[in-house]
Amino acid sequence: MPLAIYDLDETLINADCSLLWLQFLIDLGLTDPVIMDDARELDRLYHQGQLDMHDYLALQLRPHLGQTLTEATREMDRFINEYVQPRIRPSAVESIRRHKARGDRCLVISASIDFLVEPIAAHLGIDDAIGVRIELEKERITGRADGPICYQEGKVLHLNRWLEQQGENTEGSWFYSDSQNDLPLLEQVDNPVGVSPDPRLAEVCKQRGWAIVNWECVK
């Protein structure tokens, strides 16, 4: 079955779900607003392809240290409805619909935390999702990753593991992404697509004859 693989942040939504989540926690009074200054600096490094994801993960999980997953995600439905839904790109929804109508299997793969990625993917009607797995000790969040981080070459590693587990392959597959950080995975599929791509990815797409689409418009 052909796969339609999607990056999440700045691809399916016109935002970074991790930054949206931090703003949500700030708005609820659940974390100190100063955390956003650090997050924006790390986000800048991400867009330059220079981010240490362990640092970013530690920052993202700082408000949740010592919590259970249930405690950390108790307001998830509200977050998705109020903060994520308005940022979903209509063209992304149409792409998902089109691939499903063709019988393709859809998958979201993201460098964001799995407890954000999975429910957002489900909200978009996608059952399969891969995000950064977080470490738990005695069911409590430690602030560290559980295994390799799903970022850059790590996305290829996690996709290959998933393919083996699911008995799937990348024949005829598509991957949609906005970011230069996803070049390793874009190179693995038959149909790489730059979605409103960053400057470096746009240049690579033009050099290699990869498709470019503009999904900027939101409702």
Which residues form the catalytic set?
A: 7, 9
The closest alpha carbon to 189, from 150, 160, 154, 215, belongs to 160
Q: Indicate the pairing of strand 174-177 with strand 3-6.
A: parallel
Q: What CA–CA distance (Å, rounded) separates 117 from 3?
A: 18
Among 217, 197, 72, 177, CA closest to 134:
72
CA distances from 27 to 17, 23, 217 (A): 15, 6, 26
Separation of alpha carbons 44 and 7, rounded Å: 18
| 134, 114 contact by CB (below 8 A) | yes
- Bin 146: left if φ > 0, else alpha if -120 < ψ < 50, else beta: beta
DSSP 198: -
